[in-house]
A and B are shown apart, each in its own frame.
Chain A
Amino acid sequence: MGGFVPHVILLAYVVVACGPILMIVMNSFKSRQAIFSEPFAPPNASSFDLSGFETVFERSRFELYFFNSFIVTVCSVFLVLLLGSMAAFALAEYRFAGMTLLALYMAVGIMIPIRLGTVGILELLVSLGLVNSLAGLVLVYTAMGLPLAVFVLTSFFKQVPKELKDAARIDGANEYRVYSLAVPLIRPGLAAIGIYTMLPIWNDLWFPLILAPAENVRTVTLGAQAFLGQFVTDWNAVLAVLTLAMLPMIALYIVFSKQFVRGLTGGALK
């Protein structure tokens, strides 16, 4: 193939992938009239308009939704990485009766969608008094993220050289100290799993809708869903909400895209 054709195809698909997003972001900064008269034109001095964003912050508690999503995502990812790496370390490092069974038991959760247990989860959270709480969401998301984290991090820990760990033990380090020495060595694995766990949690609609629909614990995704349903005819507000909900994730992804792709391709990066 010549050097020209691949670029044409790839650029065409970049337009397909990013065009719609760009169109939404662009139009969110335009006046209502300009949105409809020239949907493809970028905002200029005469069409520039922030009324959509004003509506969003006046009529909904978007900053609170952001805060809730942030708390839930950060706590869940932290717990998945901490508890997942602890369990993975034990599975990689020690030999004990039933370890194969335990590894399998954890791995089964990779293939079974947790949503199928929603009826049971709701009943459990009702009995624990955790409905409409961020803590309830964090616990469910942590359970959802652990199987893959344990599975992947186990194979990362198996590659940490044995000499390092044994040297630490000879120097009198206890097992917890050995774990804390091994964790920094699997940073690529932690980064990949961190991003992987984060995306579906931040973007989830199902569990917030069912387990935490109350206004004060709403996440961005649910808040956007509710707001969009209510303001469906106010295009400025709708476009502004979409822009607000999209940009943080896209920015974060672009910053970490190398680690992300590396995680998906098993460390290879060409």
Chain B
Amino acid sequence: MSNTQPPAPPDDVGAEVAVKASPVRPAPSAGRRPRQRFRLHLLVFLLPAAAIYTIFMVYPLVDSMRLSLYAPQDGIRMFVGLENFVHLLTDDLLSARFWNAVWNNLVFFAIHFFVQNPIGLLLAALLSSATLKGRSIYRTLLFIPTTLSVVIVGFIWQLILNPIWGIVETPLLGQSSTALITLSLMSVWQYIGIPMILFYAVLIAIPDELLEAARVDGANGWQTFWRVKFPLVLPTVGIVSVITYVANMNAFDLIYTVKGALAGPDFATDIMGTLFFRTFFGFQLQRGSSTMGATVATMMFVLILVGVLLYFFVYQRRVEHYEL
């Protein structure tokens, strides 16, 4: 691999930065240079990006978490501590909706995980084979769905799966038993290009000597794949899965486009994103609540954090990383 990191978050985002950046300069006496005077250009270079990021991303995130500790009482917001969370997790109606959304979201992710990885890996392995003709055409065509808007993807499949059109007989999106699985597969269809390309990047970076050595040792193509290529791809499977998990946990557009904010039939396709939207904006008879919405968003953050930490402490420790 060259040093130019691909714009996919590397597997060691935090660590990478910490390692790459030079240590904070020690006291002036130990430094190579005397203490520098105030450097205006540093401020000019850094302030605009830091300011926009802080004001429009960090501050709202922190503010949302703060709001989850408040509740409106007689028109003013009062500090209520963790009451909103207790309410969300124990109230008969709300908690049923919440756990249903968590479960559906995990199913949504599981389908991504189990379908995306094998198919993505198969396509990447085929694309990276040395003798393939027309590689760049395949690569371009296979990635096209990934560039589409989720709204468009939702509608394309709604039309194609519409029994009126007669291509499929059963209303897959209309039955609670099949709606969530169908939506998940629509999402996989759209995003599979990303794991495919990332696996492909790993496979084409494997040095020829390594594959040559395997051949000399008498390994056939099948053995070379499972014993040489596959172990090298495994760390990337982890990264792809984390990216997918984070994206799935705040997915919204597809469900909203195809099933509306009510995520029917009978909440069968309700995930965290749609629950958040309804809680925040209200729907039909229920009034929206920004503090309860902030509580749901904070729970989404917790779920994402748990998933990412599990990856860092369980998966990354177990998987061998090879330096090429």
CB neighbours (8 Å) of A158 from chain B are 3, 20
Q: Give chain A nearest CB distance to B31 CB in angstroms.
A: 9
**A120–B67 contact, CB under 8 A?**
yes
Which interface residue of B58, B139, B152, B155 has the most chain A CB atoms within 10 A?
B152
- Residue of A24, A116, A188, A246 contacting most chain B CB atoms (<10 Å): A116
Q: Kindly supply a per-residue 1/0 record for chain A positions 177-213, scoring 1 wherever the CB is within 8 Å of any chain B CB and 0 otherwise.
A: 0010000000011001100100100111110011000
B61 to chain A, nearest CB (A): 4
Interface size on B, residues (CB 8 A): 105
Closest chain-B Cβ to A258's Cβ sits at a distance in Å of: 8
Residue of B nearest to A90 (CB): B45
| A113 interface neighbour in B62, B135, B304, Cβ under 8 Å | B304
Determine whether A166 belongs to the interface, using a CB cutoff of 8 Å to chain B. Answer: no
Determine if A124 and B148 form an interchain contact, defined as CB atoms under 8 angstroms apart: no
Q: Which among A13, A106, A115, A151 is the interface contact of B142 at CB below 8 angstroms?
A: A13
Whether A110 contacts B297 by the Cβ 8 Å rule is no
Residues 185-234 of B contacting A (Cβ, < 8 Å): 189, 194, 197-198, 200-201, 204-205, 221
**Interface residue B246 (Cβ < 8 Å from any Cβ of A):** yes
Determine if A55 is an interface residue (Cβ-Cβ < 8 Å). no
* Cβ–Cβ < 8 Å partners of A89 in chain B: 45
**In chain A, what residue has the closest Cβ to B249?**
A113
- Contact of A14 with B4 in the complex, beta carbons under 8 Å: no
**Main DSSP-derived SS at the B contact region:** helix
| Chain A contact patch, size range | 35 or more
User: Do A179 and B45 touch across chains, with their CB atoms under 8 A apart?
Assistant: yes
- 8 extra interface residue pairs, beta carbon distance < 8 Å, beyond A21-B145, A86-B49, A119-B60: A14-B141, A100-B21, A106-B50, A154-B20, A156-B4, A179-B45, A203-B149, A257-B136
Subset of 17 A-B contacts with CB under 8 Å: A9-B123, A10-B142, A14-B138, A20-B156, A20-B189, A83-B49, A95-B25, A100-B24, A105-B50, A109-B58, A122-B290, A144-B57, A155-B3, A174-B41, A239-B159, A266-B2, A270-B204
Q: Give residues in B with beta carbon < 8 Å to A.
A: 1-9, 13-14, 17-18, 20-25, 39, 41-42, 44-46, 48-50, 52-53, 55-64, 67, 119, 122-123, 126-129, 131-132, 135-136, 138-145, 147-152, 155-157, 159-160, 164-167, 189, 194, 197-198, 200-201, 204-205, 221, 246-247, 249-250, 252-253, 256-257, 273, 276, 280-281, 290, 293-294, 297-298, 300-301, 304, 308
